[in-house]
C-alpha cells in the first residue's frame, strides 16, 4: 500500500481544479516527499487503486511545518469522477481551499 498527500492545487481560468500537488508519505517517519504536479485524471487513477490512500496536507504558518488533514477519496462515476475530502465540517482542508500553486510565480532575476 502506498500513502500520499495533496498539499495544493492548480486551477484553470474558470476556477476548476486541473492539477494536484501529490507527495509520497512515509507514515512511520511522518515525512513527505517532493511534490509531483499530477493532472486530475492521473490523480483519480492513482487513488482508484484500493492499495493507495491519500490525505490533505496543510501548511501551518505558525510552526512552519505541515499538518495532516483529512482523507481524500474518489467519487462519481464514468467521466464524472473527481477527488473529494471526507466531510468533517472544516473548510480549511477541503481540496479547493489548499494552496493554489497556480498563483505562485518564480522570478529568477
Q: Name which of 48, 57, 42 is nearest 4 in CA terms.
A: 57
pLDDT grade for 66, boundaries at 50, 70 and 90 = confident
Residue 107 lies in a domain: no
Name which of 79-83, 87-91, 102-106 the model is least confident about: 87-91
25 - beta bridge partners?
Answer: 32
Domain that holds residue 25: 2-101
Name which of 26-30, 50-54, 70-74 the model is least confident about: 26-30
Residue 108 lies in a domain: no
pLDDT tens-digit profile of 6-51? 999 999 999 999 999 999 988 766 667 889 999 999 999 999 999 9
What cell numbers appear for 88 in the block? 468533517
- In this predicted structure, what is the pLDDT of residue 94? 85
- Structural domain count of the chain: 1
Amino acid at each position: 500500500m502506498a500513502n500520499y498527500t495533496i498539499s495544493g492545487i492548480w486551477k484553470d481560468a474558470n476556477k476548476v481544479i486541473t492539477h494536484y500537488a501529490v507527495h509520497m508519505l512515509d507514515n512511520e517517519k511522518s515525512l513527505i516527499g517532493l511534490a509531483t504536479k499530477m493532472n486530475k485524471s492521473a490523480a483519480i487513477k492513482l487513488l482508484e487503486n484500493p492499495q493507495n490512500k491519500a490525505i490533505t496536507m496543510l501548511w501551518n504558518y505558525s510552526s512552519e511545518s505541515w499538518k495532516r488533514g483529512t482523507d481524500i477519496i474518489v467519487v462519481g462515476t464514468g467521466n464524472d469522477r473527481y477527488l473529494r475530502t471526507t466531510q468533517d465540517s472544516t473548510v480549511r482542508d477541503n481540496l479547493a481551499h489548499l494552496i493554489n500553486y497556480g498563483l505562485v510565480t518564480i522570478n529568477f532575476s
